[in-house]
Structure 1
Amino acid sequence: MSQNDSNPIRIMRVIARMNVGGPAVQVSGLMRSFNSIDFDQRLFTGFCASDEADYIDTIASDIKAVRIDGFGRRVNLSGDLHALFSLVKEIRKFKPHVIHTHTAKAGFLGRIASILSLHGSIRVHTFHGHLLNGYFGTLKRSLVILAEKLLAVTTHQLLAVGDKVRKDLLTAGVGNPMKFGLMPPGLEIGPLLNKKDALATYSLSRQTLHCAYIGRVTKIKRPDRFLDVARELKERGVGIEFFMAGDGDLLEYCKERIAREDLPVKILGWQNNIELVLSAADFVVLTSDNEGTPLSLIQAGMAGLPVVTTRVGSVPEVVLDGTTGIVTSLSVLDIADALEKLAKSDDLRARMGVAAKEFTLANFGVMRLVNDHEMLYKKLIASRAKS
């Protein structure tokens, strides 16, 4: 088909909720930057839970979205059915050439809705991570894998944000290598602020180093491990103060433990200005049990900050161990050793920061992400036209 302003490719982008995090950043970048002559792009999403910040409401207010009642984080039969049939209705009305789903729940309901609509859309699904480890028990995990296997058969293109995520899914029997592509994240950050002003904004000391925990304060991110690391470094007498920029169901637990153990950790809560957060930090730590491709580490790299991170998911594709940061095991002592190493060497922090900025800007820019998606959609449309 030809692409022009009278006959653009219609893209239906579906994500269950736009909570603050990697997938919402990616989707927002795509919605903002696509070629509006060749593409008519529309976003369909649900609502965030009461303990989550909505990215559209708080940061990306320029992004237009169709809100679907019942779509959200939690499994709820009546709500999920309502969302499913609402999506079917929207598909029949919009008649998209491509339905692109993001994250697990949207992938499940969105692809089923596409089939039920009887409209011949090309189905694309992006795994921004996966639910194979750390989320469910054995039975639920088996059901998740079975559902993903079945849906993969009906999906024309599968994408993963990192090679480790793709390999994990292929090993579990989801999809096949011919159908499974890579789509690394792409983003941008704004100008950094003066460090002195950033520290003053958060009432942080100018006399010590600051390490940032950036992200959701929830089980899979292991804030308990982060606090264990802070306690270990305090006991060693290493001069690092920490701050947590994020929110989640374990925030109150963290506050209570920080007060009880007198840990050198300041709670900032959820922040909508990542540039300000990064400007206040000297390095960043990630302590998760599981990740897809963490955008917080890409943002840290773009800000010229080295990171210490656990070796999970596609982290090693974002952080070059020994070059742009230090990748460790899940051990509290290993993480503490790495942070102590950074804290004691101004030269090491500077060298890693320069390398991190160069690497992330070259490989994870938002326009690379947009161009890759535009090329993919055109390729899929052309391939269908030939068949």
Structure 2
Amino acid sequence: MAYVLGTTSGGTGRHVRMLVEGLVRRGHQVVVAGPPSVEEQFAFGAAGARFVEVAVSDRPHPARDLRAVLAVRRVTREADVVHAHGLRAGALAGLGTRGRLLVVTLHNALTAGGFVGFVYGVLERIVARRADRVLVVSSDLGERMTRLGARDVRAAVVPAPSLRPAGRPAREVADELGAGERPILLTIARLAQQKGLETLLDVAAGPWHEGPGEGHGQDGGPWGAAGLREAAGPQEVAGARGAAGSRRRPLFVIAGEGPLRGELERRIAAEGLPVKLLGNRDDVPDLLGAATAVVTAARWEGQPLSIREALMAGKPVIATAVGGIPEIVGDAGILVPYGDVHALREAVRTLLDEPGTAERLAAAAVRRGREMPDGDDAVESVLGVYGTARSTG
């Protein structure tokens, strides 16, 4: 088996590493071709594969791309199956693979237009025409590739890695974040255009302290008088009632790094938004343990690890109904249209204020988390794809 992938720092690399481990355990010989950065991060050689450096860049460059096509052709000459991951890797493998079965997994959709969008469209057509089998992480990607003429399109099985237990109590994590008694809404995302974080900041901007007639009556919801009595005790209700609006305002916590950090920091500071940027974190289970829910405002997602981790942690999800998100979330969350600030804010209010909603969604999340495919499911799925491709190729 030969795997081809381009520059990646996230889910695509982890997915290929998992496939390599599973195939090697089953006695298959595997070669991985890609830029040196992916070997540095994912250590395919340590997983039992032979790694060969091929400069699959993330931007078009005719001379480098021609060299990459020739290198892919050389590296995959002895392979029974060539499996490329990502659109650029898939297009280069399509141009460089002759006489071998080509499978391409598409992990992402492009959300930009202009020249980048034009180039993306050209690459899509190459993949659609050259690949024997196209695997997709969402139904909309599958529909698009079918329209472009792909002969055989199927859903990719993307496993959810086991979520390790939280290492600290939720109260300790909440105190570290400065949340006080406020609900914590967690977003795990790269700080990049695709993630729709400007919409999340619009939601965080409020308003969050409406009067009794606007969705959280005097005794309704966790920050009405009844909720305050439970949280603070009867003797403190009178003083707390006046502060209910500020206490009710959730704290939005974003774990991740990316090119938009400076822009987001400036807006958060200028508007005094209840948002904390945590940077990259290695304690996601701790953050999930302290979170009331996981929120994403993304323009598009395939099968994001953050949502699968939320479900395995039994956390409700509030998300945009894009890409593969609806298929993952099912009945364990509230879905809203992308870019609809009002709908996203109302979904947060519903989760926090409507009696029984958070509990119902959390129970559904536990069920959905148990249904997530694991690494063995993914490996057996691709072996089935390879076998079917052989019989139909």
Q: TM-score range by the shorter chain?
A: 0.7 to 0.9
- 2:102 is matched with 123
Give the Å deviation of 1:127. Answer: 1.3
- Residue 344 of structure 2 aligns to a residue whose secondary structure is helix
Contact 1:29 1:366 in 2 (8 A): yes
In structure 2, the CA distance between the partners of 1:207 and 1:355, relative to structure 1 (3 Å rule), is same
Letter in 2 for 1:343: L
- Residue 18 of structure 1 aligns to a residue whose secondary structure is coil
Residues 140-174 of structure 1: per-residue CA shift (max 9 Å, x gap): 54553344224322211111112222113323x24
Distance 1:90 1:34 in 2: 18
1:16 and 2:6 matched: yes
In structure 2, the CA distance between the partners of 1:13 and 1:235, relative to structure 1 (3 Å rule), is farther
Give the Å deviation of 1:187. Answer: 1.7
Give the Å deviation of 1:57. Answer: 2.6
- 1:298 is matched with 308
Map 1:103-114; keep pairs closer than 5 Å: 103-114=86-97
Residues 310-333 of structure 1: per-residue CA shift (max 9 Å, x gap): 11112111112xx20000012111
In structure 2, the CA distance between the partners of 1:140 and 1:207, relative to structure 1 (3 Å rule), is closer
- 1:57 is matched with 41
In structure 2, the CA distance between the partners of 1:65 and 1:290, relative to structure 1 (3 Å rule), is farther
Distance 1:59 1:223 in 2: 32
Q: TM-score, normalised by structure 2?
A: 0.81
- 1:8 is matched with none
In structure 2, the CA distance between the partners of 1:239 and 1:114, relative to structure 1 (3 Å rule), is same
Residues 232-273 of structure 1: per-residue CA shift (max 9 Å, x gap): 255654431111111111011111111111111111112244
1:287 and 2:293 matched: no
Distance 1:201 1:58 in 2: 34
The partner residue of 2:360 within 337, 340, 351 is: 351
Contact 1:45 1:65 in 2 (8 A): no
1:90 and 2:72 matched: no
In structure 2, the CA distance between the partners of 1:284 and 1:228, relative to structure 1 (3 Å rule), is same
Letter in 1 for 2:28: F
- 2:185 is matched with 211
The partner residue of 1:165 within 141, 148, 152 is: 141
Distance 2:320 2:259 in 1: 22
1:334 and 2:319 matched: no
- Residue 34 of structure 1 aligns to a residue whose secondary structure is helix
In structure 2, the CA distance between the partners of 1:23 and 1:46, relative to structure 1 (3 Å rule), is same
The partner residue of 1:187 within 122, 137, 160 is: 160
Distance 1:78 1:202 in 2: 51
1:325 and 2:333 matched: yes
- 2:240 is matched with none
Letter in 2 for 1:74: R
Residues 268-292 of structure 1: per-residue CA shift (max 9 Å, x gap): 1122443233233221111111222
- 1:136 is matched with 113
Give the Å deviation of 1:351. Answer: 1.9
Where does structure 1 lack aligned partners over 5 or more consecutive residues?
A: 1-10, 49-53
1:242 and 2:252 matched: yes
- Residue 297 of structure 1 aligns to a residue whose secondary structure is helix
1:74 and 2:47 matched: no
1:31 and 2:7 matched: no
In structure 2, the CA distance between the partners of 1:150 and 1:108, relative to structure 1 (3 Å rule), is closer
- Residue 85 of structure 1 aligns to a residue whose secondary structure is helix
Letter in 2 for 1:135: A
Contact 1:290 1:312 in 2 (8 A): yes
Letter in 2 for 1:291: E
Contact 2:188 2:306 in 1 (8 A): yes
- Residue 40 of structure 1 aligns to a residue whose secondary structure is coil
Distance 1:201 1:59 in 2: 37
Distance 2:19 2:172 in 1: 30
- Residue 99 of structure 1 aligns to a residue whose secondary structure is strand
In structure 2, the CA distance between the partners of 1:33 and 1:195, relative to structure 1 (3 Å rule), is farther
- 1:254 is matched with 264
The partner residue of 1:196 within 167, 170, 191 is: 170
In structure 2, the CA distance between the partners of 1:58 and 1:109, relative to structure 1 (3 Å rule), is closer
Rg larger in structure: 2
Contact 2:54 2:68 in 1 (8 A): yes
Residues 93-152 of structure 1: per-residue CA shift (max 9 Å, x gap): xx111100111111111221213xxxx221000111323xx2222x65455334422432
Q: TM-score, normalised by structure 1?
A: 0.82
- 2:121 is matched with 145
Give the Å deviation of 1:83. Answer: 2.8
Letter in 2 for 1:246: G
- 1:175 is matched with 150
- 1:102 is matched with 85
Residues 329-380 of structure 1: per-residue CA shift (max 9 Å, x gap): 1211110110111122473222212212212331433322122112222332
- 2:390 is matched with 381
Q: What percentage of residue pairs aligned between the two structures are identical? A: 23
Give the Å deviation of 1:189. Answer: 2.5
Give the Å deviation of 1:12. Answer: 0.8
Q: CA RMSD in A?
A: 2.7
Letter in 2 for 1:372: S
In structure 2, the CA distance between the partners of 1:86 and 1:328, relative to structure 1 (3 Å rule), is same
Distance 1:292 1:57 in 2: 22
- 2:229 is matched with none
- Residue 39 of structure 1 aligns to a residue whose secondary structure is coil
